[in-house]
C-alpha cells in the first residue's frame, strides 16, 4: 500500500485514515479489534480518534474510543510500530476539562497516552479553535510535548483560513512548533469551506490535509434518498440536510461512475477525495468487515479525468441554489 508524506512532517501515512469515532458508539470492542486487524493487514496504517469520542453516547464520559484502541494495541505489542495514531484535544469533557490552555493540554495528553497505552502520539490536533486562549500559549504547550517525545507532530481541526494563518504566523515569529496538518470538513457535497483560501494556504505552506465527514455522514454511500431512509442508521438525523436537488444530482453521478468501475458510490466518493489537490488522506469509518473491505477498495480505485469532471459538475451549485 502506498504511503503519502504528511505535509512537511516527514511522516508517512496511508491514503485513507480509519475514523475511530464509531468505537464505543456503534462498534463494540470485539468488533473494533477485528476491524483494526483487517485495516492494518490491508497495508493501511492511520487511525484517527479524539479524547471526546464518544461522549455523546448515553452513559459514556469520553475516552471510550481511545481506550478501545489502546486495548487493541496492548493485545499485540507489534501493532504499535505499524500504526500512525492521531488524536485530538480541546473538546469539552467537563467544566475543568476543555479548551487549549497549557494546563489543559499538558493534562489531556497524559490522559490520552494512558488510554491509548502508548508512549507517544504521532499527530496531536487542536480539535477546535479556542478564542479564550492566546495561540502562543497553545503552541508553547505543544512545544513541551514535542520536546519530551510525547507528540511527533501537531495539527488543527476546524480552523478557517484566518485562524490557521494567525497560528502559522505566531509559530514563525515566536520560533514555536507550527501546525503541520489541517483536518477540515470536506467531501463531494461540502466543498466551499475548504476549497478557496483555506486550501490555497495549505498548499502554499505545505500542510498535510486529512478530511473528516468524507462521506457526508454516510449520505454519499447512496443509501439515503428520501426522509424515510433516515432511520437506516444512528447517523440518519445528520443526513437530512443533504436531501436536496443537488444532493440527488451528486448521488446519481456517483452511481453512474461507480457502475463503470464495478465499485460502490462510497468508494467513488472517497477516490474523488483521494485524488483532490492538497488532500493527503480522507477519514472514513466502518462498522462491518464488508464496509472495511470497501474502504480498502477505494484506495485502489483510479478515476479518469472524465469521471472527475462528471462528479465536479454534479456537485456544482446552480444559479437557483444557495452557495
Catalytic residues: 53
Cα angle vertex 308, ends 306, 312, to 5°?
115
What are the angstrom distances between the C-alpha of 109 and each of 43, 196, 286? 28, 33, 26
Cell of 211: 478530511
Read out DSSP for 157-219? ES--HHHHHHHHHHHHHHT-----EEE-B--SS--TTTTTHHHHHHHHHT-EEEEBSTTGGGG
Instruction: Write down the residue that cell numbers 511527533 correspond to.
Output: 152
Gap between the Cα atoms of 308 and 315, Å rounded? 11
Gap between the Cα atoms of 187 and 304, Å rounded? 18
Amino acid at each position: 500500500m502506498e504511503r503519502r508524506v504528511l505535509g512537511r512532517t516527514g511522516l508517512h501515512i496511508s491514503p485513507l485514515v480509519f475514523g475511530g469515532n464509531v468505537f464505543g458508539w456503534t462498534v463494540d470492542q470485539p468488533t473494533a479489534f477485528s476491524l483494526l486487524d483487517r485495516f492494518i493487514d490491508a497495508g493501511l496504517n492511520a487511525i484517527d480518534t479524539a479524547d471526546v469520542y464518544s461522549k455523546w453516547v448515553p452513559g459514556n464520559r469520553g475516552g471510550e474510543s481511545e481506550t478501545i484502541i489502546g486495548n487493541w494495541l496492548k493485545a499485540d505489542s507489534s501493532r504499535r510500530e505499524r500504526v500512525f495514531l492521531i488524536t485530538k484535544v480541546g473538546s469539552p469533557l467537563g467544566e475543568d476539562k476543555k479548551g487549549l490552555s497549557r494546563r489543559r493540554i499538558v493534562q489531556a495528553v497524559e490522559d490520552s497516552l494512558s488510554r491509548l497505552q502508548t508512549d507517544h502520539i504521532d499527530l496531536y490536533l487542536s480539535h477546535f479553535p479556542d478564542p479564550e486562549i492566546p495561540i502562543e500559549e497553545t503552541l508553547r504547550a505543544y512545544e513541551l510535548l514535542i520536546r519530551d517525545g510525547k507528540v511527533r507532530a501537531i495539527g488543527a481541526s476546524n480552523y478557517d483560513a484566518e485562524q490557521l494563518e494567525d497560528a502559522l504566523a505566531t509559530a514563525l515569529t515566536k520560533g514555536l512548533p507550527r501546525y503541520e496538518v489541517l483536518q477540515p470538513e470536506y467531501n463531494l457535497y461540502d466543498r466551499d469551506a475548504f476549497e478557496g483560501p483555506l486550501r490555497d494556504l495549505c498548499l502554499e505552506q505545505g500542510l498535510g490535509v486529512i478530511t473528516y465527514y468524507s462521506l457526508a455522514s454516510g449520505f454519499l454511500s447512496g443509501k439515503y434518498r428520501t426522509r424515510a431512509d433516515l432511520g437506516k442508521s444512528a447517523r440518519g438525523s445528520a443526513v437530512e440536510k443533504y436531501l436536496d436537488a443537488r444532493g440527488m444530482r451528486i448521488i446519481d453521478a456517483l452511481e453512474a461512475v461507480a457502475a463503470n468501475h464495478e465499485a460502490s458510490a462510497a468508494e467513488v466518493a472517497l477516490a474523488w477525495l483521494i485524488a483532490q489537490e492538497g488532500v493527503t488522506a480522507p477519514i472514513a469509518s466502518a462498522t462491518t468487515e464488508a464496509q472495511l473491505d470497501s474502504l480498502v477498495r477505494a484506495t485502489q480505485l483510479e478515476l479518469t479525468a472524465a469521471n472527475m469532471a462528471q462528479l465536479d459538475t454534479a456537485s456544482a451549485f446552480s444559479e437557483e441554489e444557495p452557495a
